[in-house]
Structure 1
Amino acid sequence: MKFLLLLLCSIISLMTSSQTIEKHRWENRILLVISEENNSNEEYSNQLQVINDSLEGYTERKLIVYTVLPNKYRLLGITTNQEANWIKNSKLYSTYNENKKPFKVVLIGLDGGVKEERNAAISSEELFAIIDGMPMRRSELNRK
């Protein structure tokens, strides 16, 4: 009985984290800001400041940001200026930070594929250049 309960909890946990990313497919690009800690990691703090300084560019590129810690994650409220509550789950962290780096950023494209991974903060200019070079983004720009 205990085994079945544990198995059920594991399945629900896997479904929840994959749905988190999957629900944005074809709608938003995703930047995962992954860290072991949220207060004492300088790269993490620097990345959040870079994001905060360039909100308009993130919105224009349909880019949303999740902050991911070992046991929880949350969506940053770029367009609403409100951060969502933390959701307890370790699957995003273990899936996108298998090597357990102290800090990592992961860019996920509209198609759900990983487009860029870094172990250091990335500037908005560099991030926007990567996105603007993607075929789907060029199509978006051509339609405007």
Structure 2
Amino acid sequence: MLKSISFLLLIFFFTMNVNAQDLSKHQWKDRLILIITEEKTEKFQQQITELQKHQQGLKERKLVVYKILPEKYSTGFQEENWKSSTELYGKYKVKNSDFRVMLIGLDGGEKLEQTEVLSIEKLFNTIDSMPMRQAEMRKNR
């Protein structure tokens, strides 16, 4: 009986972890932009449009875009690659706001957060002033 319960618990936790999205896989490889919203609002659409216009700049800065809604998330700009999950929304949703955008650095730390649309200028200036980005730019000259 105890073995059966242990086995069922093991299966349950394994299944939960398979569906959970772990952002730490990006650490030291990618910077992340998290766009967290309750629904596809006007701010959400404006933020996506602002980022889409500058995809080369995003690529140069090793940025991966996460779109996060209460029941699902997706990376990039494609509309069809949504995955079911409530974990990211639960972790990054801020109270008293239906929209939040965050920048997570290569080290996994939060570098910028706001509840208004983030301009590409502010985003790129924030990243370009970071020591690791400065080193990347010197290396790529």
Fold conserved between structures, TM > 0.5: yes
Deviation at 1:100, TM superposition (A): 6.0
Instruction: Name the counterpart of 2:121.
Output: 125
- Structure 1 vs Structure 2 CA RMSD: 2.3
Match of 2:17 among 6, 12, 15: 12
Show the counterpart of 2:60: 60
Given the two structures, how large is their TM-score scaled by the length of structure 2? Answer: 0.84
Rounded Cα–Cα distance in structure 2 between residues aligned with 1:62 and 1:83: 21
Q: Which of 104, 111, 114 pairs up with 2:110?
A: 114
What is the total number of aligned residue pairs between the two structures?
134
Offset at residue 11 of structure 1 (A): 4.7
Question: Do 1:34 and 1:103's aligned partners in 2 also have CA atoms closer than 8 Å?
Answer: yes
Alignment of 1:1-144 (within 5 A): 4=9, 8=13, 11-12=16-17, 16-18=20-22, 21-38=23-40, 41-77=41-77, 82=78, 85-99=81-95, 101-144=97-140
Please list every run of 5 or more consecutive structure 2 residues that lacks an aligned counterpart in the other structure.
none
Q: 1:76 touches 1:84 (CA, 8 Å); kept in 2?
A: no
Alpha-carbon distance between aligned partners in 1 of 2:96 and 2:21, rounded to the nearest angstrom:
18
Cα distance, 1:52–1:65 mapped onto 2, change above 3 Å: same
CA distance in 2: counterparts of 1:6 and 1:117, whole angstroms: 37
* 1:59-118 C-alpha deviation (Å, 9 max, x unpaired): 1101110100011100115xxxx4561111111111111426200001000011111111
Contact 2:94 2:100 in 1 (8 A): no
TM-score, normalised with respect to structure 1:
0.83
**Percent identity for Structure 1 against Structure 2:** 39
Structure number with larger C-alpha Rg: 2
Whether contact under 8 Å (2:38, 2:99) holds in the other structure is yes
Residue ranges of structure 1 left out of the alignment (5+ in a row): none
